């Protein structure tokens, strides 16, 4: 603003935030316990506060005004006056410039100093003291935007759950080293919108891109001071604003262009969202937004000493979903990203924390009830990380109908099985067929299980077969961070090696993991780079590594190119066979009035598994026959689906096993579709007769289809 704003009108309490209507800007901020609210206007570079405007209107605890002279591009923040009594939960401090919770654009990052804290650091009584230093010069600023955007004929791809292949990626890490993305666009929304990255996703067979957090977030002070960054972004401070560090243009419209481009390529966009906590941390954290606007309303506080925070997240605080205005903020945020940004769904970080009505996790919590009846949110993809760090927080299998869940029981079992642990085949059968033990009783379908072998948190697929132990020293936490329970196996040598036999085994293990994932019922989720052998050199908690450790490398070695081709092939097999992506659970019952069941579990002799077979702790080889000539399912147009009868042979033993090929409905032959012994998975065209023994290699997986003609 070149001139001071002179006209201040009462404005409206709705909508929340700064809203440009074509003539002026309405400002509305919730604070239940504030005594005075000031809107602070800054120069175009955000370095100088040029004006303060008191919001004198207050309606239903919403402070508001209208500035007919304001325009998009205006930089602003708030100062909120009120009591500073931490023991009662109040931490108002008007010396601290605050980010507005409904800001649609947040410019800059904090220049960390003691001035960002509401108390005097190092004082005798810590957070009970009061700091009068002004922090505005080092604070990010909110920016008014014009939300207009030409979406044209953009519409959601609406991929059916059972057809989805999710690809979890980091916006920056995916293109930061891509040789075919111009340098100025690498690591940005614009870079992800370009043809080479999108072509990689299309050729791979991805249907759904799941973006790690893009809500505006902060780098923790302790990381910045050690030369690190909060790379993953699970440290939100603005639930409406796309993080500007991923923007080449500096405009919110760049994110919209990315979504529109991915939609045009036939792919959905799901956001990983962090609504369980904020970047302000515990009682010793900075005062940046919610804490200074109305601490006792926004956060869960310890009832008998409201100086402290309930921490179900391990991040210092937990948002109070019991408060109607907090619940409204989250719902408004979700609707904004669907309606204004056109995203197709959400993955909720530590979702159990959102369900805590009192102390316990309530599966029918207000948050989930509100979403289920919402006409906008009830139609998008909803995925829960079904745990938090509080008591009773592990809730895998307990989320409501309409929700899918990250299934860590799938991850743990598949890892343990291919590592060679005994006693796994009983649970393996459950995980391969969609985890009906977790989801069917509540009326959910196989797609409720989001199956994954690896995720952003933990070892990459390559490291899973290359390291027994984590190697996180570079995180500067003395290797104490990250999980010690990885179910990994280094195949004989810790870390990289030139031993050709070990490298061959590792390559085969990676193929085994990927094939198991893509041929399991449920929704498969790949992590960006696993299809190309990406390594973090044994770091299983690279949250603070904004560098080559986390970024994808695109200069592929021959074995990485082979793995990429293998992944493309098995995804194409999954798409070609409806039997591998059923909408309903198997039940092991005869079909078509005959004797053949929809699924049959087989021992190496080619006979149906007996009770004693299942009970053998040493058993590591299993066959499964899928009857697919009539699926008893229909597609979205009502057409009856048919498929080949398929046979999967799985051998986690270190030695070859001669598996007797079964005979069903007469004398059939078997064509090999996949054998992970081969580097790219595609075998020579070979036909085997029923009753013949097939040599299933040590630590390998085979898929065959049944043929009538010899």
Do 207 and 298 lie in one domain? The reply is no
- Asked if 140 contacts 107 with a C-beta cutoff of 8 angstroms, the reply is yes
Tell me what the mean pLDDT of segment 229-257 comes to: 98
pLDDT of 268 over the 90 cut: yes
Q: What is the pLDDT of residue 2?
A: 61
Do 423 and 295 lie in one domain? The reply is no
Where does the pLDDT of residue 699 fall: very low under 50, low under 70, confident under 90, or very high at 90 and above? Answer: very high
pLDDT tens-digit series, residues 307-354: 999 999 999 999 999 999 999 999 999 999 999 999 999 999 999 999
Q: Output the CA angle 347-350-355, nearest 5 degrees.
A: 100
Domains in the chain, number: 3
Tell me what the mean pLDDT of segment 271-277 comes to: 97
Where does the pLDDT of residue 110 fall: very low under 50, low under 70, confident under 90, or very high at 90 and above? Answer: very high
Task: Single out the residue in 579, 613, 640 at which a domain terminates.
Answer: 579
- Asked if 312 contacts 356 with a C-beta cutoff of 8 angstroms, the reply is yes
CATH code, domain carrying 606: 2.60.40.1180
**12/68 Cα distance (integer angstroms):** 13
**99/619 Cα distance (integer angstroms):** 58
Do 339 and 249 lie in one domain? The reply is yes
Q: What is the pLDDT of residue 56?
A: 96
Distance (Å) of CA 50 to CA 3, 17, 612: 9, 20, 80
Tell me what the mean pLDDT of segment 6-33 comes to: 97
Q: What is the pLDDT of residue 476?
A: 97
Through-space distance between the first and last CA atoms of the chain, rounded to whole angstroms: 81
**607/596 Cα distance (integer angstroms):** 13
- Asked if 287 contacts 117 with a C-beta cutoff of 8 angstroms, the reply is yes
Q: What is the pLDDT of residue 631?
A: 66
Q: What is the pLDDT of residue 220?
A: 97
Distance (Å) of CA 671 to CA 190, 254, 668, 706: 45, 49, 10, 6
Spell 647-673 as b/e; 16+ CB within 10 A means b.
bbbbbbbeeebebbbbebeeebbbebb
Task: Single out the residue in 544, 579, 614 at which a domain terminates.
Answer: 579
Report if residue 158 sits inside a domain. Answer: no
Residue 690's domain comprises 589-707
And the tokens for 82? 């009120």
Report if residue 155 sits inside a domain. Answer: no
**208/497 Cα distance (integer angstroms):** 35
pLDDT tens-digit series, residues 359-407: 777 765 788 889 989 999 999 999 999 999 888 889 999 999 999 999 9
SS3 of 665, please? Answer: coil
- Which is higher by pLDDT, 614 or 682? 614
Q: What is the pLDDT of residue 391?
A: 85
Q: Output the CA angle 586-508-486, nearest 5 degrees.
A: 75
Distance (Å) of CA 237 to CA 86, 102, 105, 131, 221: 21, 10, 11, 22, 14
CATH code, domain carrying 553: 3.20.20.80
555 CA to centre of own chain: 26
Where does the pLDDT of residue 47 fall: very low under 50, low under 70, confident under 90, or very high at 90 and above? Answer: very high
Average pLDDT, the chain: 94
What share of the chain in percent tops pLDDT 90? 87
Beta bridge partners of 534: none
Do 412 and 558 lie in one domain? The reply is yes
Q: What is the pLDDT of residue 671?
A: 93
pLDDT of 358 over the 70 cut: no
Angle separating helix axes 408-419 and 425-432, nearest 10 degrees: 130
Where does the pLDDT of residue 212 fall: very low under 50, low under 70, confident under 90, or very high at 90 and above? Answer: very high
**311/88 Cα distance (integer angstroms):** 18
pLDDT tens-digit series, residues 519-565: 999 999 999 999 999 999 999 999 999 999 999 999 999 999 999 99
Among 243, 254, 268, 385, the active-site one is 385
Do 410 and 307 lie in one domain? The reply is no
> Is residue 484 annotated as part of the catalytic site, yes or no?
no
pLDDT of 667 over the 90 cut: no
pTM of model > 0.85: yes
Report if residue 82 sits inside a domain. Answer: yes
Do 76 and 35 lie in one domain? The reply is yes
Do 209 and 353 lie in one domain? The reply is yes
**601/466 Cα distance (integer angstroms):** 31
Tell me what the mean pLDDT of segment 626-638 comes to: 73
Tell me what the mean pLDDT of segment 238-255 comes to: 98
Q: Where are the beta strands (DSSP E) in 391-548?
A: 404-406, 449-452, 523-527
Report if residue 689 sits inside a domain. Answer: yes
Q: What is the pLDDT of residue 362?
A: 72
Q: What is the pLDDT of residue 630?
A: 60
Q: What is the pLDDT of residue 1?
A: 53
**277/320 Cα distance (integer angstroms):** 9
pLDDT of 629 over the 90 cut: no
Report if residue 540 sits inside a domain. Answer: yes
CATH code, domain carrying 100: 2.60.40.10
Do 309 and 446 lie in one domain? The reply is no
pLDDT of 18 over the 90 cut: yes
> Is residue 385 annotated as part of the catalytic site, yes or no?
yes
Do 618 and 701 lie in one domain? The reply is yes
Report if residue 156 sits inside a domain. Answer: no
Do 366 and 499 lie in one domain? The reply is yes
Q: What is the pLDDT of residue 355?
A: 85
Q: Which of 305, 343, 126, 114 is nearest to 215 (CA)?
A: 343
Tell me what the mean pLDDT of segment 231-259 comes to: 98
Do 89 and 174 lie in one domain? The reply is no
Task: Single out the residue in 520, 554, 579 at which a domain terminates.
Answer: 579
Within 536-647, residue ranges assigned H as helices are 558-576, 611-615
pLDDT of 666 over the 70 cut: no
Q: What is the pLDDT of residue 590?
A: 78
Report if residue 157 sits inside a domain. Answer: no
Where does the pLDDT of residue 710 fall: very low under 50, low under 70, confident under 90, or very high at 90 and above? Answer: low
Among 254, 268, 272, 349, the active-site one is 349
Q: What is the pLDDT of residue 187?
A: 98
- Asked if 513 contacts 484 with a C-beta cutoff of 8 angstroms, the reply is no
Do 458 and 601 lie in one domain? The reply is no
Tell me what the mean pLDDT of segment 144-148 comes to: 97
pLDDT tens-digit series, residues 58-109: 999 999 999 999 999 999 999 999 999 999 999 999 999 999 999 999 999 9
Q: Which of 69, 71, 70, 65 is nearest to 11 (CA)?
A: 65
**582/593 Cα distance (integer angstroms):** 20
Report if residue 397 sits inside a domain. Answer: yes
- Rounded-to-10 torsion of CA 407, 522, 668, 513: -50
- Which is higher by pLDDT, 68 or 618? 68
């Amino acid at each position: 603003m070149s001139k001071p704003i002179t006209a201040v009108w009462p404005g409206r309490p709705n909508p929340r935030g700064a809203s440009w209507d074509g003539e002026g800007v309405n400002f509305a901020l919730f604070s239940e316990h504030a005594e005075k609210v000031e809107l602070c206007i800054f120069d175009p570079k955000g370095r100088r506060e040029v004006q303060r405007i008191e919001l004198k209107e207050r309606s239903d605890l919403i402070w508001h005004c209208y500035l007919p002279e304001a325009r998009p591009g205006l930089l602003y923040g708030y100062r909120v006056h009120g009591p500073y009594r931490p023991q009662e939960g109040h931490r108002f401090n008007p010396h601290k410039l605050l980010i507005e919770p409904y800001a649609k654009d947040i410019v800059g990052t904090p220049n960390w100093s003691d001035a960002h804290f509401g108390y005097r650091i190092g004082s005798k009584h810590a957070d009970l003291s009061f700091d009068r230093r002004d922090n505005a010069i080092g604070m990010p600023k909110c920016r008014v935007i014009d939300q207009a955007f030409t979406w044209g004929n953009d519409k959601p791809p609406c991929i059916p759950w059972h057809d989805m292949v999710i690809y979890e990626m980091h916006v920056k890490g995916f293109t930061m080293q891509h040789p075919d993305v111009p340098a100025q666009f690498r690591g940005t929304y614009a870079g992800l919108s370009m043809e080479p990255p999108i072509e990689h996703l299309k050729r791979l067979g991805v249907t759904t891109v799941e973006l790690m957090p893009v809500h505006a977030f902060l780098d923790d002070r302790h990381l910045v001071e050690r030369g690190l960054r909060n790379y993953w972004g699970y440290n939100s401070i603005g639930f409406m604003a796309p993080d500007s560090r991923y923007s080449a243009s500096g405009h919110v419209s760049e994110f919209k262009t990315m979504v529109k481009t991915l939609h045009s390529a036939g792919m959905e966009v799901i956001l990983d969202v962090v609504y369980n906590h904020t970047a302000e941390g515990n009682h010793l954290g900075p005062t940046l937004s919610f804490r200074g606007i109305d601490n006792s309303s926004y956060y869960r506080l310890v009832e008998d000493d409201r100086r402290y925070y309930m921490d179900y997240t391990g991040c210092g605080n937990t948002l109070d979903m019991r408060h109607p205005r907090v619940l409204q903020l989250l719902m408004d945020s979700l609707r904004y990203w669907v309606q204004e940004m056109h995203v197709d769904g959400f993955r909720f970080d530590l979702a159990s924390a959102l369900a805590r009505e009192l102390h316990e996790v309530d599966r029918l919590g207000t948050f989930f009830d509100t979403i289920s009846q919402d006409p906008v949110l009830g139609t998008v993809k909803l995925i829960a990380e079904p745990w938090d760090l509080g008591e009773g927080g592990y809730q895998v299998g307990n989320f409501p109908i309409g929700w899918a869940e990250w299934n860590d029981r799938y991850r743990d079992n598949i890892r343990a099985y291919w590592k060679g642990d005994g006693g796994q085949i009983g649970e393996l059968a459950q995980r391969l067929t969609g985890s009906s033990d977790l989801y069917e009783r509540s009326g959910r379908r196989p797609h409720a299980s989001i199956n994954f072998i690896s995720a952003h948190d933990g070892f990459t697929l390559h490291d899973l077969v290359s390291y027994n132990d984590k190697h996180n020293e570079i995180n500067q936490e003395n290797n104490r961070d990250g999980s010690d329970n990885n179910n990994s196996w280094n195949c004989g040598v810790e870390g990289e090696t030139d031993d050709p036999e070990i490298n061959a085994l590792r390559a085969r293990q990676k193929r085994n993991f990927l094939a198991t994932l893509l041929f399991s019922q449920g929704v498969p989720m790949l992590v960006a780079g696993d299809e190309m052998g990406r390594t973090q050199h044994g770091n299983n908690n690279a949250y603070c590594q904004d560098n080559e450790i986390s970024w994808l490398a695109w200069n592929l070695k021959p074995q990485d190119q082979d793995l990429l081709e293998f992944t493309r092939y098995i995804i194409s097999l999954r798409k070609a066979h409806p039997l591998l992506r059923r909408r309903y659970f198997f039940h092991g019952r005869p079909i078509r009035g005959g004797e053949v069941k929809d699924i049959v579990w087989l021992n190496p002799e080619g006979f149906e598994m007996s009770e004693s077979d299942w009970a053998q702790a040493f058993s590591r080889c299993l066959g499964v026959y899928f009857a697919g000539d009539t699926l008893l399912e229909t597609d979205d147009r009502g057409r009856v689906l048919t498929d080949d009868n398929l046979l999967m042979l799985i051998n986690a033993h270190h030695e070859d096993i001669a598996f007797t090929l079964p005979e069903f409905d007469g004398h059939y032959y078997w064509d090999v579709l996949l054998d992970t012994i081969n580097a790219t998975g595609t075998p020579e065209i070979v036909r085997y007769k029923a009753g013949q023994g097939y040599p299933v290699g040590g630590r390998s997986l085979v898929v065959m289809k049944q043929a009538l003609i010899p």
